């Protein structure tokens, strides 16, 4: 069970018993035509089509919106991979999304965090130093308080070295992760990734 008020444990991350995914997962050739090329690109990048992407593809606008914000962050964002993955882990924990916590545990390790560090980032106990730590504090408040961030939290990030442009950019990263976290809750995405520590056995069916 994770502690610290930022992520629920295994039992709390499960949805109601006997629920099914609300949007079925289909193969690329069964998806709407407008979504197929995007799914092929994701398949090449990820090695396979993940359940979340196959579900988004049912409404091409959803998949296009997801890819649009991801492409904007890749093209114009200033945060390095470790910082992006730390934000994603923190957001998945705040939003209690077991699927994204699992996905970004793998992504975080690929970016250079240790497995133990990914767990500590999720539960809010990681010692990341004042700069990254203050940025995650802003992100957690932003996500947990409907966009409101205390002046003291904002000022701590400024004093740690974050400028106006970077703090504004943080909103895009938080929004991108809320998009996937909430979508997984909304359609009840089933696991197709190794579970993050503390979330073993989670399932939309409970």
Q: Is residue 4 part of a domain?
A: no
Q: Is residue 205 part of a domain?
A: no
Query: How does the average pLDDT of the chain come out, rounded?
Result: 90
Token pair belonging to 46:
């990820």
Give 30-42 pLDDT, tens digit per residue: 999 999 999 999 9
Same domain, 119 and 135: yes
Same domain, 128 and 178: yes
Residue with tokens 């947990």: 144
Token pair belonging to 190:
């089933």
Q: Is residue 3 part of a domain?
A: no
Q: Is residue 29 part of a domain?
A: yes
Q: Is residue 99 part of a domain?
A: yes
Same domain, 170 and 141: yes
| pLDDT score of 22 | 87
Domain with 50, as residue range(s), is: 23-76
Cα separation, 134 vs 75, in Å, equals: 24
Last residue of a domain, one of 76, 92, 108: 76
For residues 97-127, one letter each, b for 16 or more C-beta atoms within 10 angstroms of the residue's C-beta and e for the rest, the string is bbbbbbbbbebbeebebeeebbbbbbbbebe
| pLDDT at residue 73 tops 50 | yes
Same domain, 33 and 86: no
Same domain, 112 and 47: no
Same domain, 130 and 182: yes
Looking at the structure of the chain, the number of domains it has is 2
Cα separation, 26 vs 143, in Å, equals: 31
Assess contact for 165 and 119: CB atoms under 8 A: no
- pTM for the complete prediction? 0.88
Distant-in-sequence, close-in-space partners of 130: CB < 8 Å, separation ≥ 6: 156, 160
| pLDDT at residue 12 tops 50 | no
Same domain, 61 and 142: no
| pLDDT score of 83 | 98
Q: Is residue 203 part of a domain?
A: no
| pLDDT score of 90 | 98
Alpha-carbon distance values, 155 to 67, 134, 137, 167, 176 (Å): 32, 9, 11, 11, 24
Q: Is residue 45 part of a domain?
A: yes
Alpha-carbon distance values, 108 to 16, 87, 92 (Å): 29, 10, 12
Same domain, 151 and 166: yes
Give the CATH number for residue 93.
1.20.1290.10
- DSSP labels for 45-93? HHSS--HHHHHHTTSHHHHHHHHHHHHHHHHH----HHHHHHHHHHHHH
Same domain, 56 and 138: no
Same domain, 42 and 123: no
Residue 26 confidence class, pLDDT cut points 50, 70, 90: confident
Q: What percentage of the chain exceeds 90 in pLDDT? A: 82
Q: Is residue 150 part of a domain?
A: yes
Give the CATH number for residue 64.
1.20.5
């Amino acid at each position: 069970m994770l502690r610290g008020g930022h992520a629920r444990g295994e039992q709390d991350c499960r949805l109601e018993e006997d629920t099914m995914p609300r949007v079925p997962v289909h193969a690329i050739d069964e998806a709407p035509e407008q979504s197929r090329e995007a799914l092929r690109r994701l398949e090449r990048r990820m090695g396979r089509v993940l359940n979340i992407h196959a579900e988004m593809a049912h409404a091409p606008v959803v998949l296009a919106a997801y890819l649009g914000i991801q492409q904007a962050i890749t093209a114009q964002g200033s945060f390095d991979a470790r910082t992006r993955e730390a934000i994603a882990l923190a957001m998945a924990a705040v939003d209690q999304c077991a699927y994204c916590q699992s996905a970004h545990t793998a992504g975080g390790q690929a970016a250079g965090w240790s497995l133990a560090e990914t767990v500590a980032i999720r539960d809010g106990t990681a010692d990341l130093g004042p700069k990254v730590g203050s940025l995650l504090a802003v992100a957690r408040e932003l996500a947990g308080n409907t966009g409101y961030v205390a002046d003291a939290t904002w000022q701590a990030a400024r004093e740690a070295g974050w400028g106006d442009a970077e703090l504004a950019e943080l909103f895009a990263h938080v929004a991108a992760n809320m998009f996937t976290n909430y979508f997984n809750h909304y359609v009840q995405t089933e696991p197709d990734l190794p579970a993050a520590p503390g979330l073993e056995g989670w399932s939309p069916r409970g």
